Amino acid sequence: MTSEEYASKARAALSVLASYQEKPFVCHEWEELLVRLSRMDDPQFRDLIDREIEAVRKKDPGFSSYHLF
């Protein structure tokens, strides 16, 4: 997957979180940073994203990230 595809998936993840209609966990600047960082092809960063998705799944077992990453 290319860095642009990762960025697209990160934007999709932000859209999913916004659809919950809850206050965002982070401000707009952090969201931009997440999108920029998701363009990195760094295995350690990918591991971090995977751990964060697992944390979301524990809070919301119905959440599916397969279409995101």
Phi, psi of 22 (to 5 degrees): -110, 160
Q: Answer whether 49's CB lies under 8 Å from 38's CB.
A: yes
**Global confidence as pTM:** 0.38
Ordered by start, the domain boundaries in the chain are 3-59
Summarised one tens digit per residue, pLDDT across range 9-66 is 888 877 777 776 665 555 566 667 666 776 777 888 878 877 877 777 787 777 665 5
Q: Answer whether 12's CB lies under 8 Å from 66's CB.
A: no
CA–CA separation, 23 and 18 (whole Å): 8
Q: Answer whether 29's CB lies under 8 Å from 49's CB.
A: no
